[in-house]
Every structure is written in C-alpha cells, then in structure tokens.
Chain A
Amino acid sequence: MRIRRALAALCGSALLAVAGCAPADEPAGRDGVAGTVTVFAAASLTESFRTLGREFEAAHPDATVTFNHAGSSALAAQITQGAPADVFASASPVNMTTVADAGAVAGTPYVIARNQPVIAVPKGNPGRVAGLADLARPGVKVALCAEQVPCGTAARTALATAGVTLTPVTLEQDVKGALAKVRLGEVDAALVYRTDVRPAAADVDAVEFPEAAVAVNDYPIAVLTDAPNPVAARAFVELVRSDRGRAVLAAAGFQQSGRG
C-alpha cells in the first residue's frame, strides 16, 4: 500500500503551514504498532476494510495494512496451508471453525458484523422479481453461489425456508462473480448479500425478502496463532471492533452484531 507514503508526504507539506499534522515529536510507533499487518478478509469486506485500513495507517504511521480478499473458504485453505496472515475475517463461522480446528486461531473469534441475503436484480428489474417465489418462474435466469461458499449456503437456507426450488443457470465461485452476472444483465437475479449491492448501486437494485432473516450470516474476526505481527494484528482487530469500525461496517450495509 502506497497510501502511507502519500499520507506522509501530505503531512510533510501540511507541516510547513500548520505544525501539528502528525505527532512529529512523538517517536513513531510508540505503542509498538509498526510494520506490515496482513489481513485475510472475506471478499464482501473489501470496501469497508479498505476504509478502515486507511484509517489504521493514518493512526499508526509506521504500520502498513495489506489485504488479501477472496472467498472465505479459499482464505481458510490458504491459512491452514501456512500462508503468513496476521488476521482472518471470515464471511461465515464455518470457515473460522476450520481455521480454529487447525490450531491457527489465537484466542476467541469476535463476531464483528452480520450480513443479510438480498435478491440483486439489474437496474430497472427486467425480470420483475419481487420475492423468492419469482426466481422459480420460467424464463427468469438466476445466478446463485456454489454451495461450497457461504453465500451459496445462505441462498440454499433461504430458498429451503421459502419452499422454492429452482434451477440456476450458474453456481458462481464467489458472491462477486454472481453480482457481476447481474451487473452485465446476463441473469435476471442473483442471491447476494446486502453489502454487495451497495457499491454496485449504479447497475444493481436490491430486493429484500422476509426469508432472509433465517439466512443471516455472522462475520467472525480473529488474530492468528502464527501471526508475524501480533501486536499490530491485535490493534487492527481492536479498530474493527471499535465504535468507528462498527460505523464503517454499518455504512457498508452490515447489520450490527450483538455486543461482543
């Protein structure tokens, strides 16, 4: 991330005018938070974690945050295979359990957010989808996530609850893949998370449905046992759990988790 350097440059020029952009007389990284923090986070956390990463780097000028965003199960596999990660934020407790069972989680994971499935439709809703039942209508092309990834599990739970059986045209490898098919207008609907629709609002509308309540997903976060930078890792997790972190996640469309 080049953000830190850019910020430092910005502060440098600002210092000429106003003394007191960064605490220049303070020894940098006094709290021991320095170096690189590598955060493996679910694809759906991309936007909110980018914001938090920038704020983290501003608060700790000696620290840099690097993100690896992918499907949670792929990330879990990478971590159990020894990828050098400091923090894991998963879109489902299942993948966190996989990592914890491998002895890779230090302490207890915290739930930082909850995400609710919605039906994403192309702008203008050409398939006139108003609820889950419409997805089974003939001629309505639907993209779901594969059942191996969390958004696929959530979709199956929601559909089963609604008693709807349908044949999707594709089972996507992750939620962004499903959303991309909606954005391009290749499908009339896809089951994704509420947070995925926000950044795509220019091309995509969200249709909420009552059965979503049973398929709400918890997002746990944890510092990893083999974290190369545990101090900074804990500081990042603290930021995500702070009121500021909650506000950023809420702005991205996540629902608040219970305190804890």
Chain B
Amino acid sequence: MTVPADAPPRRRRPGQRVPVALAVPAALGLLFLVLPLIGLLARTPWDSLPQRLTAPGVLTALRLSVQSATLATLLCLALGVPLAWLLARAQFPGRRIVRALVTVPLVLPPVVGGLALLLVFGRRGLLGQWLDTTFGVTLPFTTTGVVLAEAFVAMPFLVIAVEGALRGADSRYEEAATTLGAGRWTTFTQVTLPLIAPGVAAGAVLCWARALGEFGATITFAGNYPGRTQTMPLAVYLALETDLEAAIVLSLILLTVSVAILAGLRDRWIGHP
C-alpha cells in the first residue's frame, strides 16, 4: 500500500458500508429489543386511554416512582462516586474483592436483595432492631424503604460507569494539579470530577433508569401500599392480576415518561462535548 507523500493520511473508513457480518446481528439485536415494545403498542386500548390515564392512583404511583428513583440516584451519587474513585485510584489490599462485592446486587435476584435488606434494616434485622429501639425508626413499608431498595439494586450501575470513566481519564491532569500544589480534595473536585462528568452523567442515567423499573427488592423490602410504597412497576404487576389492558397502559406511561426524561437530560448533560 502506498500513500502519496504529500497527501495527509486519510482516516476515512474503507467505504461507508457496514459489513454484513455486523449489520445482520445488529439488526436482529435491535429487533429483539424493539419487538416487545411493538407488542405492547399493538395491544394498547387507545379508545379508553384517556380514562385510564386519569384513573385514580395512576398519577400517585407515577409521582412516587419518579421521586423515589431520583432520590435513590442522588443517594447513589453521594456514595457511589467516592466508591468508584476508591476502586479506580486508591491502592489497598483486597481491591479486587471489593470490586466483586460491588457487583453483588447485579447478580442477586432483586427479591433476594429485598430479603437481605429486611434481614439488615427490618424490625428484627441486624441494624433495624437498633434503629427501632434507639430512634423508633422502622424502614420497611416506608417511602424511605423504597429509596433504599432502589439504591441497593441500582448503585452498581453507577459505580461501574464512573469507575470506567476514571480509568479512561488521563491521570496526568491530576498529577499536574498536584504538582501545582492542589490538595487531593481540590484535585478531585476541580480536576477529576469535571473530567469524568460525562461518565458520571451516563452512570446516573443508567442508575435512575434501573431504579425506576425496580420491582422485586421494592415489594419485598418496602411492601406495596398506594401512595406510600406502590411504585409504577408494582402497580403494573398488580394490574396484571386482573386487567391486562390496564397493565399495558401503566407500562406505556412509565416508558413514555422515562424516555422523555432521559432524552431531555441527554441533550442537556451528555449532548455537549
């Protein structure tokens, strides 16, 4: 292969055509993800949609879902970003084990996660017993319980995304800041965080989406009571018991709201370089 010495090196990919070996599985993958959504749309009772949207309880569950997912994401940001920093930047024995432990909620069936939370924060749990006798605080069956259950399940998504961003970030900026006399905390807030902001945003979005769809840990740890702990996924599940169409409508509302919020945020946060 010869390149004319005076021409700038061409970076253009050979042709604009996607290889068939990639295009076919990619299309199948997309179809696999989208078809169930089409199935939902096909069975949506469009005529009765307005009445169903305004049915009692729907807005309450939606508001509770968005609020608790947002609070859970804030909790995950407050705890998860430092944890990710520790995993990516600090040297300490047993780091690999800690990293494996962080992913436990990913592999644990959410119902088991909820049970585990009950065994710790429940009225007779390891910490819950003490919380109850000392402060009179019980977490199960409360909105706080919903937030905790969602944060437990969603935090690994944030930690993994942020840790990846930290590993990808050029640590020479941080070294330069240190050389110029900045302390570790100043370096973290003034250099590291802005550097990994897109990664944090992406992690937060994943985390929020996972929290919004959380079902198993929530119903096990926080129970199901309208207005207090009944989030949209719980409402969908119970609607499914008696009324398939109501369940479909509830799922569509949840999907629409989450896609709208995510798309809106994407433009604001991740969109600009």
Contacts and interface: CB of A to CB of B under 8 A. Distances in A.
A170 B225 contact: yes
B124 to A, nearest CB: 4
Given A73-B242, A185-B124, A186-B118, A171 B237 contact: no
Nearest to A178: B223
A149 interface: yes
In this complex, the interface size class of chain A, counting residues with CB under 8 Å from chain B, is: 20 to 34
Nearest to A181: B223
Contact of A186 (B123, B226, B239, B242): B123
B110 to A, nearest CB: 13
Given A169-B223, A170-B229, A181-B223, A148 B122 contact: no
Interface of A: 71, 73-74, 77, 81, 141, 143, 146, 148-149, 168-173, 177, 180-181, 184-186
B241 A74 contact: yes
A94 to B, nearest CB: 9
Contact of A141 (B141, B219, B220, B238): B141
Majority SS of interface residues in chain A? loop
A172 B234 CA distance: 10
A260 B230 CA distance: 41
16 contacts: A77-B244, A148-B238, A148-B241, A169-B141, A170-B224, A170-B225, A171-B224, A172-B219, A172-B224, A173-B224, A173-B237, A181-B223, A185-B122, A185-B124, A186-B118, A186-B123
Interface in B163-177: none
Contact of B122 (A143, A173, A177, A184): A184
A184 B118 CA distance: 8
Interface residues of B, number: 25
A73 to B, nearest CB: 4
B124 A184 contact: yes
Interface string B79-93: 000000000000000
A173 B238 contact: yes
A148 B242 contact: yes
A42 B224 CA distance: 21
A148 to B, nearest CB: 4
A185 B124 CA distance: 7
A256 to B, nearest CB: 28
B240 interface: yes
A163 B37 CA distance: 45
Interface string B228-257: 011000100111111010000000000000
